[in-house]
Structure formats: structure tokens, C-alpha cells
Structure 1
Amino acid sequence: MPCALCGDIIPTEVARCPACGAWARRRDFRAVGVAVFMLLGFNAFVALGSGISLLRLGHPLRGATHDTYDPAGTGHALAPYTDVFLICGVMAGVTGLLYLGWLWRAFGQSPGPHQHHRAWVVFGWLCPVVNLWMPPRIVYEVWVNSGRYRLAERQAAGLVVFGWWACVLLGLGLARMFASGDGVQTLAEARFEIHVGVAAAAFQALAAALCMATVFQITRLQIARET
């Protein structure tokens, strides 16, 4: 199997790369990080495409009036986007499972001291109420422990993690609001529904992009620290 750092072939019975000395487990960790990064990029691409499509759908409503507005046609056009957000949620769930596996390894490889037990990498996402604030704390802890950061750099990392988690919560809440809308019987309701859908897609795309940044930085820091 090729080394993730130099490209040389590592025999299966050897723990280190014969050319650069990198650990084989680091090679596997980098492969998982790349897979998570690519899946997050695909999630961001789908969410961004959904938002742009909704914007184009709402363009004819700008010049519409209460007399020319067609509620049945608008409702029929918006119905598939509920399924799109459902598919985005399923994709995010699949990506999240791989992300948890990556984060579990990243937590174990990051030097301490750790403020939280490693079990919170998983339980922090499953426990009600706790899952509103524990996941970003774990990610931030892994990030800052994986490298040597000054105070300003730690604050910048905290802003990225906080922005990612805020976008996750806002994207989920707005997507649920869009799916459970009361209808588009009036022109005002249709415009509001489209704005909610566009905002949900935008926050989901931004959340995926910020999560990509955390995955890239943590993976890069841990591989560089080993070499």
C-alpha cells in the first residue's frame, strides 16, 4: 500500500514506511481524514445547489401579485425540496458516522491533558441537551492539543469551531421549519417558505465547509507532528 506522505510502497508486515519513516497507522488515519473531507465537500455541494435552485424558484414570485399568484403550482414546485432536505439529512448521518470514527482516532492521538474523557466523543452526540454543546468542545480540544498554538491562534480555532456548530444547529432548525411549513396559500407565505429554505441550505453548506476546515487542520497537524 502506498505511503500517504511520500508515495513509497509500505509492505504489510512493516509498521513504518521504509523511505520516510512514517507510521502505517498515520497513513490509515490520513486516508480516513481524506474520506471525511470528501464526503463533507459533497454535502456542501448538494446543500449549495439546493439553495441556488430555491433562489431561482423564488425569482418569479418577486413580480407576482395576489391576483396572479398560483398557490397550487407553487406548492407543487416546493414539495420536492422537502425530500431534498431529507436526503441531505441522511447523507449527513452517513458522513457523521465516518466523522465519529475519525474523531475517535484523532482524540486518542492528540497529546493531553484532556478535559473530557474519550467516551464523550461518542456520547456527546447522543445524550440529549448535552449534545447541544459537547461536540464543539471535543473538536476544539482535539484541535488545540494537536499543535502548538498561541492565544490568538486558539481564539481563531475557537471561532471556526463555534461558527461550524452554530451553522449546524441553524441549518437543522431551519430545514425542519421548512419541512413542517403550514403551506403556501398566500404570496407572503410562499416567499417566507422559500427564504427559510434558502437560509437552511446556506447554513448547511457553510457548516460542511467549516467542518472540512477542522478535519483538514487536525489531520495535517497530527501527521506533521508524527513526522
Structure 2
Amino acid sequence: MTKSLTFTTATALAACVVANAALLVAQVRQYGTEYGTEAANRASMWTGNLTGIRSGLLVLTAWVFLLWLRRARTVAEALSPEGHRHRFGWVVGAWLIPVVQYFLPKRIINDVWAASCPADRVRRTSVLLTSWWLFLVVAVTYTGWGWNHSRNARGAAETRAALQDAMIGAGLYLVTGVLAVAVVLELSRMQRDRLAEL
């Protein structure tokens, strides 16, 4: 695993964490304003701008992460050619198919993780990997539900409830991002260690 690709991926993920933290702060400030006031409109503008920035960063980071994952899978196949349950094309394809995207990418990453473990301590997953995946699934699901809720919000009470949902979603993505950075760094380290043993 190249250190530059790992660094780029971890940096992109960290940028998403920062964007989510900034968005969460803006949402909390917006929540503290009275609906319909100038302060609320300004806070809403900041929240909207940061939401756009976060969305752009998420798209860029997803692309970088998939490049990193493809490379990690290539290295994992060199370390353990028989240890993979799915063909190489599923490394990217699994993320694009509705419903399948909730379980198949995790299976693929589990196989990469197992192939990257020390030969005497092979484990298909870890607490870190499973925690990251569970937070990701919950964040994606909850944010999708929350987005529908906010789109249909009418009046002060519904808008505040939608904003609460958005704050929870930003918090979930924040934790997911921190865990994703840890997964990328740990899996890359494991692969470097295994390659050094050969």
C-alpha cells in the first residue's frame, strides 16, 4: 500500500470530519435562533452553504476512498489469493447497487482485512471495522430519512424537528469519518507490515 494514497485518503476523510463538525456547529447555532428572524435566516444560509461544501467533499472523498480500496484489494490478493469471496469488480460495484450496498462492501472489506492480518492471527473483521460500518449504515439511513423529513417541513415546529434530524445526521457522519480515518490507517499499516514479512 502506497503511503501517498493512504495519506490522501486519510486527509480527504479528515476534511469531511472537519466539514461535518463545522456543519454541526452551524446547525446548533441555527437551532438556537428564533424561526423567521434575520438571525435565523443568516444561520440557515450558513447551514446551507456548509451542507453544500460537505456534499462536495463527500463525493470527492468517496472517489478517493474507492481508489484506496481498489489498491488495498490488489495488495490483499497478492497476500492471499484465495481469501476473497467476491470478484474484483465488486470492490466498486457493491457500493452502487441499492440494498446490496448495505452488506456487500463490508464483506469485501472483511476479506481485505483478513488477507492483511498477520499469518498467525487471521481475523475477518475487528471492532474498529465493524464499528465504522455500523455507524456508516446508520448515518446513511438516518440522513436519508432526515432529508425527506426536512424537505416536507412546514412551519416552525416541523423545521426545528427537521433541523434536529440534520444535527443527529451530521453527528453520525462525524463519528463515521473519524472511524473511517482509523480504518484506512490501520488497514494500510497492516498491509505494509505483511509485505515487509515477505
TM-score by length of 1: 0.72
1:56 corresponds to: 29
2:43 corresponds to: 77
Contact 1:174 1:200 in 2 (8 A): no
Distance in 1, matches of 2:67 and 2:176, equals: 19
Give the alignment of 1:17-36 within 5 angstroms: 26=1, 29-36=2-9
- Is 1:142 equivalent to 2:107 in the alignment? no
Aligned length in residues: 189
Gaps of 5+ in 2: none
1:189 corresponds to: 158
Contact 1:171 1:204 in 2 (8 A): no
CA drift of 1:80 comes to 4.2
- Is 1:199 equivalent to 2:193 in the alignment? no
Distance in 2, matches of 1:53 and 1:145, equals: 42
Structure 1 ranges of 4+ moved more than 4 A: none
Contact 1:48 1:205 in 2 (8 A): yes
Cα shift readout 1:33-89 (whole Å, capped 9, x = no counterpart): 11100110010011011102211232345xxxxxxxx43543563244234223212
2:140 corresponds to: 169
Distance in 2, matches of 1:124 and 1:83, equals: 31
More helix by share: 2
Identity value in percent: 20
TM-score by length of 2: 0.82
CA drift of 1:173 comes to 1.5
Instruction: State which drifts further: 84-93 or 205-214.
Output: 84-93
2:75 corresponds to: 109
Contact 1:170 1:203 in 2 (8 A): no
- Is 1:156 equivalent to 2:124 in the alignment? no
